[in-house]
Amino acid sequence: MYVLIRRLGAGSGQNRSYKDEELAVDQLSIGRGTDQELLLPGDRVAYQHAEISLSAGQFRIRALASTGITVNGRSCKMAVLNTGDQILIGDYRLIVIAAPDGVDLALSLEVLEQQEAPSIDPAKFVTRLDALTLWRPRRWAWALFLVLLVAALLLPALVTLKPEFQNVLRNTPLPDDSLWLSGELHSVHSTIGKDCQACHTKPFEKVSNDTCVACHEETALHVPAGHPDAGLFDGERCASCHHEHNGEQRMVFEDQRFCADCHASLDQRMGSEPQVGKATDFHADHPAFRLSMLQWQDDSREWLQSPRLTVDESLHDNSNLKFDHAGHLDVEGIKNNDGDWEVLSCDSCHEMALDGINMAPVKMEQHCARCHGLAFDPVDPNRVVPHGKPDQVLANLREYYSSRFIQDRADAGDIRALRPGQRDNLSQLQREGVAWVEKKSQAVAEDMFERRACVSCHEVDRVSEQPPQWFVKPVRLNENWFVSGEFPHVRHTQTECADCHAANESMETADVLMPDIAVCQECHVGQQQKQGLLSGCISCHNYHQFELDHADLPEVMP
């Protein structure tokens, strides 16, 4: 079809200038796109805004842009065009005019002038975030940066660097160095409170051992002072093992690797001969138990605690006591002083000490005397000698028989009234009594010490004659079997004594009743294992220990 476009220029009415342009097109495309047949360059016009097509003798305009078109004042998507119709597209007005000959459709085109009338003013509205100057990200970014730098770094640092600020900041809601606290103190250190400088004495320096030792001065070393390899511990920090600021956790490392670090290769690390074997895991890599034994020295009459000794057939317990565990634990029972049969169990004699670690000492009066009476005269079966030193026993016997002598004579009517000058008579009687009492006492004592009472449990030596004297070797039960380990009985009460100590098979005092490591390993496994009772080194061992000092043993019991 042929389309005439009449572009109206300046002027009005008949005088208005115009310029005609003819187009031969299939359909007339209108828009601001350069490929459009009718180019309307205004920016309110879409690239393809509308198109006019001829069909069935009618011209139709169809809107392609979402803003649509206005035909005769009505916005629409589609309209049939007749002469005189006005089409508004953006700021352009097209009017269908009468088509001259040779042309199918004629359109006049003019640009509308904006009329003054109330309308919205786009400049009045804030429709972009970056127009909100108060909210500019950079402004807030720097503000936050400065606030946090001051609150989280400078003020806390002032607390340390300027002591005069310390109380001001710590006692007010102002930020102080508690912001830096990476975790709570262990409750044992809770008395330190906010005083970080108690341990952190110098900025940018690790907490030194001196600050720990200032309070913990009694803490024992891992090796005795003067040990040839004590130098290996130079530079070790308390804090390597004791990590603070983890609340109640990890104040003491339980990880066996901490010990295994050195104990895997002591022989290479140490200049001197290591006293302990290689150990890295209780189950997989731990030497057999060695025991420290009590050794009685006949010459010096004192006890020695031996160093660790290998457990084998030749190792004998030595307590100076004659005791047959199996006999005492006879299931039929044993006969007591009253002639009754009594069945004993371990706890008849062994009771746990208050510390829960070892057994309390066995006491003659409490545990033995019920069966092992110390009666000495059939005439007076309730009369006993004290369980004491031989001298005391003899003195007791003398006292008893003195009274017996006097009583016997009084009953026989031999006691004569004393008259002045008759001392000889008394001396005679006294001499008689002294001789009898001494003879009787010595006889009974000899019987008790050497044949009947004491000797059944004790090692008794007759050390002199006229008058006879005896030495009863002191009894002492070993309590320090393990030089560097500790076995708390209180934590093993759910097992039977016999599970670890084969007492009911032991006929000899010399039997060593300490269990083998395999017995412990039935329950305790090293931390290498995935399941079981995971037990690290410090389950039994204590890092802070001197080697046992043999001169420093507790006093020998009677």
Partner 1 sequence: MHGSFLSHRGGFWFWFALVLVLASVVAYVWHEPIGLPNGGTWLGYTLGTIAALLIVWLTLFGVRKRAYYSRIGSVKGWLSAHVYLGGSLLVVGTLHSGFQFGLNIHTLAWLLMVLVIVSGFYGGWVYWRYPNRITRNRDGMTRDLIFREIADIDRKASLIVEGLGSPADRMVISAIQLFQVGGGVWQQLGGRDRSRMMISEVRKKQKSWKRVSNSHQQRLLDELTGLLSRSTDPKEAALLQELIDLVSRKARLVKQLLKDIRLQGLMEIWLYCHIPLTLALLATLTAHIVSVFFYW
When the beta carbons of 135 and 233 are compared against partner 1, the nearer one is 135
Which residues lie closer than 8 Å to 335 by C-beta, 6 or more apart? Answer: 341, 342, 371
Contacts (CB under 8 A) with partner 1, residues 392-421:
none
Q: Is 132 in the site for partner 1 (CB under 8 A)?
A: yes
The answer to whether the CB of 404 falls within 8 A of the CB of 410 is no
When the beta carbons of 65 and 453 are compared against partner 1, the nearer one is 65
> Rounded CA gap, 196 and 181, in Å?
9
Binding flags for partner 1, 356-385, as an x/- string (CB under 8 A) = ------------------------------
* Minimum CB–partner distance for residue 461 and partner 1 (Å): 57
Position among 12, 14, 15, 114 found at the interface with partner 1 (CB under 8 A): 114
Residue written as tokens 């302990």?
276
> Rounded CA gap, 322 and 458, in Å?
6
When the beta carbons of 243 and 387 are compared against partner 1, the nearer one is 243
> Rounded CA gap, 240 and 261, in Å?
13
* Minimum CB–partner distance for residue 92 and partner 1 (Å): 12
When the beta carbons of 260 and 374 are compared against partner 1, the nearer one is 260
User: Which one of 44-52, 299-307, 459-467, 500-508 is the stretch in contact with partner 1 (CB under 8 A)?
Assistant: 44-52
Position among 65, 106, 512, 520 found at the interface with partner 1 (CB under 8 A): 65
**In whole angstroms, what separates CA 533 from the centre of its chain?**
16
Q: Is 62 in the site for partner 1 (CB under 8 A)?
A: no
Q: What percent of the residues of the chain are helix, what percent strand, and what percent coil, each to the nearest 5?
A: 30, 20, 50
The answer to whether the CB of 212 falls within 8 A of the CB of 241 is no
When the beta carbons of 200 and 367 are compared against partner 1, the nearer one is 200
Two tokens at 31?
A: 């828009």
Which residues on adjacent β-strands are paired with residue 62? 51, 78
Position among 13, 57, 100, 137 found at the interface with partner 1 (CB under 8 A): 137
Two tokens at 171?
A: 């006692």
Contacts (CB under 8 A) with partner 1, residues 89-108:
91
The answer to whether the CB of 2 falls within 8 A of the CB of 22 is yes
Does residue 307 have a cis peptide bond before it, meaning omega lies within 30 degrees of 0?
A: no
Q: Is 67 in the site for partner 1 (CB under 8 A)?
A: yes
* Minimum CB–partner distance for residue 250 and partner 1 (Å): 5
Q: Is 118 in the site for partner 1 (CB under 8 A)?
A: yes
* Minimum CB–partner distance for residue 26 and partner 1 (Å): 24
* Minimum CB–partner distance for residue 149 and partner 1 (Å): 4
* Minimum CB–partner distance for residue 249 and partner 1 (Å): 7
DSSP category for residue 197: G
Where do runs of H (alpha helix) occur along 413-543?
A: 423-446, 497-500, 517-521
User: Which one of 100-108, 127-135, 212-220, 360-368 is the stretch in contact with partner 1 (CB under 8 A)?
Assistant: 127-135
Beta strands in 98-176 (DSSP E): 105-111
User: Which one of 68-76, 283-291, 371-379, 468-476 is the stretch in contact with partner 1 (CB under 8 A)?
Assistant: 68-76
When the beta carbons of 102 and 137 are compared against partner 1, the nearer one is 137
The answer to whether the CB of 512 falls within 8 A of the CB of 501 is no
Position among 62, 243, 372, 501 found at the interface with partner 1 (CB under 8 A): 243
User: Which one of 254-262, 273-281, 383-391, 435-443 is the stretch in contact with partner 1 (CB under 8 A)?
Assistant: 254-262
> Rounded CA gap, 490 and 418, in Å?
68
> Rounded CA gap, 70 and 339, in Å?
132
Which residues lie closer than 8 Å to 462 by C-beta, 6 or more apart? Answer: 449, 450, 468, 469, 470
Contacts (CB under 8 A) with partner 1, residues 157-196:
157, 160, 177, 179-184, 196
Q: Is 148 in the site for partner 1 (CB under 8 A)?
A: yes
> Rounded CA gap, 321 and 508, in Å?
10
Contacts (CB under 8 A) with partner 1, residues 255-284:
255, 257-258
Two tokens at 424?
A: 């000889």
> Rounded CA gap, 5 and 38, in Å?
9
Q: Is 531 in the site for partner 1 (CB under 8 A)?
A: no
User: Which one of 249-257, 289-297, 337-345, 452-460 is the stretch in contact with partner 1 (CB under 8 A)?
Assistant: 249-257
What is the secondary structure of 31-48 as a DSSP string?
A: ESSTT-SEE---TTS-TT
Position among 121, 218, 273, 338 found at the interface with partner 1 (CB under 8 A): 121
DSSP category for residue 409: H
Q: Is 456 in the site for partner 1 (CB under 8 A)?
A: no
CA angle 426, 432, 435 (to 5 degrees): 135
Position among 24, 34, 43, 231 found at the interface with partner 1 (CB under 8 A): 43
Position among 2, 145, 233, 341 found at the interface with partner 1 (CB under 8 A): 145
The answer to whether the CB of 242 falls within 8 A of the CB of 258 is no
Q: Is 146 in the site for partner 1 (CB under 8 A)?
A: yes
Position among 13, 57, 73, 413 found at the interface with partner 1 (CB under 8 A): 73
Q: Establish how many alpha carbons lie within 13 A of residue 517's alpha carbon, considering only the half-sphere containing its beta carbon.
A: 18
Cα radius of gyration (the chain): 56
Q: Is 36 in the site for partner 1 (CB under 8 A)?
A: no
Which positions touch partner 1 (CB under 8 A)? 43-44, 46-47, 65-68, 73-75, 91, 114-115, 117-122, 125-130, 132, 135, 137-138, 140-149, 152-153, 156-157, 160, 177, 179-184, 196, 200, 203-207, 243, 246, 249-250, 253, 255, 257-258
